Structure 1
Amino acid sequence: MMRKALIFAALLVGAISVSAAGQAAPEAPPTLNMQNWPLPDTVSPEGKAATAAAASQAMPDPLPPVADIRKLIDAMQAAMGTELQKRYDVRIEASTIAGVPVRIVYPKGVSALGDGPVLLNLHGGGFAIDSGSLTETIPIAARTGLPVVAVLYRLAPEHPYPAALDDALAVYQALEKDRKARQIAVFGTSAGACLSGQLVAKLASLGRPMPAALGFLSGSADLSVRGDSESWMPGPGFDWVAAYAGKTAMTDPILSPIRGDVSGFPPTLLLTSSRDFLMSPTSIFARALHEKGVDVRLMMFDGLPHAFWAYMAIPESDQANEVVARFLKEKLDAAGK
């Protein structure tokens, strides 16, 4: 039962994500996609098995109500989080910062946030569920040796933009009271990547100092357009981005940072994979940052689906988490010198 739940949840993690709002998916003839394209030998056996298992499961039609989806994903996070907590020997604390609920993940040997370096996570889940506040954070806390604060921001559709951004900004500013901005690194996956970019854009608009680094892990910095990979790879079966954006124009330079001035962005790591339907917007943002002189790195994994590191227990997930942890730690160390 748990295996089936995790496979279904994995499908939802991929489906409840981000796509251009207000646009109908263009009709196209059948094409190769994750469901019928053989997996390459560059993918580990574990990666092949996990991807094939997820691809073999049909998306429920109709989809369950959002409240039921949240319960299912919460159960997935609890189950996977328990396993990760045992593996990495971390401590998880439920807390509140600036009136916003958070999960704080303490690596072994760290008992409090103190006033030292800290990582701020904005989880994925299509702005509507929590598909990563444990699975995205536990490996990073353990691998960096730094505490991670996962913001449990308000969710759409009940709380449209800028509610989630306001929550992220409030927590960030509270952390900044006890340390300099260069002692904070921000990262997020999927919708959390989008929100992370929006947070940095908001800080820039306020004239605030930049964090030491940004981990933009498979997202979009322009919600007003659809990239090529979104047209030929399986993506969301539904679109909650419009509900998230509310009355804000998709071209707003905070909602879609690429529409504004990104020249002041901190060093940024962008992570994607070749069967990630958000491969195009992730790489487009990498190019935009590079053109503005930002220290940017784009890392692509082969053959794996969207945000695989957040829900697949495979060697490539370990590799992805190591890439993220090393980048964030290196930039925090460099900024502190």
Structure 2
Amino acid sequence: MKTRTLILSVIAASLISTTALANNDKNSLSLSTQPVPLATAVSPEFYDFSNNFPAPNVEALQNNIPATDEEWNEFVKPRDKVASQRALSLAKSLNVSIEQDSIAGVNVYWVTPEVIAPELKDKLYVAVQGGAYMLNSGFASTSEATMIAATMQIPVIAIDYSKAPQFPAPAARNDIIDVWNELIKIRPADSMVMGGTSAGGSLSLAVTQKLNEQLIATPAALYVGTPGVDMTMTGDSRFINEGLDHILGSWRGMSSAMIDAYVGDLELSDPVVSPINGSFEKFPPVYLITGTRDLLLSDTVRLHRELRRTGVTADLNVYEGQSHADYAIALGTPESQEHYQALSEFFYHYLVNE
């Protein structure tokens, strides 16, 4: 046995030595130049969605970046207009009603499905829409809230938090906390769950960290979809999935510029904007989702490990071939339906069965 172990060790050392000679500088390794075909280990519906979705133009994402608040406004307004129209159309198609309101001076929307499950009539999902901390104001802040309301048959409140560049961090986080503090005056914290996709997921983490810091009751569970938990250029997928992620395309250029506008005068590593650097002690259970082509795959994986190391219940879901938040865009595909059903069951467990 000792002889066999010695032989295996020698072989392993030889292989490692050969690899080291081939890659002297581990910080300048290059990705393969082989073409990457569309993922085929997916449903036919998702394959068709991916095949018809435009490929990202990474070079274009490095150019024509807004430099002033006025230029950012010109960038945001037409996109929000289209997104709001889509949100209202989605609500109509799913028989979901939307009513505008204001809580603690923050614009919110009550999103109510046609049918509410009897067990959930006194429960609430607090929705935090994504959009790179800059997009999806107004009715556009209700898109994913509508999908979850209809799938889970639960009342929802969507928070239209303050956006960059006019309102950099921590304005968005503080708006959500202000609304939360009003909600817990009239209903138990454990009767509510919170979350969202992308910036919505990241903000839900930052909010929960601040609530714990202030010894304020937190939601019963969190939904954190493909979050950007580190605002620095960190994580394998930021490099490996550049050009593969057909939603974000690249972290360099437009995405990082939008992040800079959100971060404002804070450091990129500040836990307020990079919650991976904050504490996850006393966190509620967390549902996580990402995809193999997601630029933020590493963010989601790193978050999952930090949660697990802290002893937090964390359910990680990774889908083959999906770019950033494809599950929320490729509606009607089996993958999207599977995700929202699984999320509903996750929330249901902590709202009803606990």
Q: TM-score, normalised by structure 2?
A: 0.79
Distance 1:93 1:194 in 2: 26
> Corresponding residue for 1:77?
83
* Match among 213, 223, 235 for residue 215 of structure 1: 223
Structure ranking higher on relative contact order (CA contacts 8 Å, 6+ apart): 1
1:94 aligns with 2:112: no
- Mark the runs of 5 or more structure 2 residues left unpaired by the alignment: 1-26, 243-249
* Match among 323, 327, 331 for residue 342 of structure 2: 323
> Contact 2:96–2:114 (CA<8 Å) still a contact in 1?
yes
> Corresponding residue for 1:11?
none
> Contact 1:31–1:232 (CA<8 Å) still a contact in 2?
no
Aligned runs of 1:8-23 on 2, under 5 Å?
none
> Corresponding residue for 2:353?
334
Per-residue CA deviation, residues 154-177 of structure 1 (Å, 9 max, x unaligned), is 111111111101111011111111
1:196 aligns with 2:204: yes
Q: What SS class does the counterpart of residue 133 from structure 1 fall into?
A: helix
> Contact 1:220–1:285 (CA<8 Å) still a contact in 2?
no
> Corresponding residue for 2:292?
274
1:108 aligns with 2:114: yes
Runs of 4+ in 1 over 6 A off after TM superposition: none
Distance 1:243 1:56 in 2: 26
Per-residue CA deviation, residues 161-220 of structure 1 (Å, 9 max, x unaligned), is 111011110111111111111111111111111111100001011011221001010013
The structural deviation recorded for 1:221 is: 2.6
Aligned runs of 1:55-66 on 2, under 5 Å?
55-56=54-55, 58=57, 61-62=63-64, 65-66=71-72
Q: CA separation of 1:27/1:80 partners in 2, compared to 1, >3 Å: closer, same or farther?
A: farther
> Corresponding residue for 2:194?
186
The higher radius of gyration belongs to: 2
> Corresponding residue for 2:271?
253
> Contact 2:206–2:273 (CA<8 Å) still a contact in 1?
yes
Letter of the structure 1 residue corresponding to residue 86 of structure 2: M
> Corresponding residue for 2:42?
43
Distance 2:47 2:33 in 1: 17
Alignment size in residue pairs: 305
The structural deviation recorded for 1:29 is: 5.2
The structural deviation recorded for 1:94 is: 1.4
Q: What SS class does the counterpart of residue 47 from structure 1 fall into?
A: helix
Distance 2:37 2:100 in 1: 42
Distance 2:327 2:143 in 1: 8
- Mark the runs of 5 or more structure 1 residues left unpaired by the alignment: 1-25
> Contact 2:31–2:240 (CA<8 Å) still a contact in 1?
no
Q: What SS class does the counterpart of residue 79 from structure 2 fall into?
A: helix
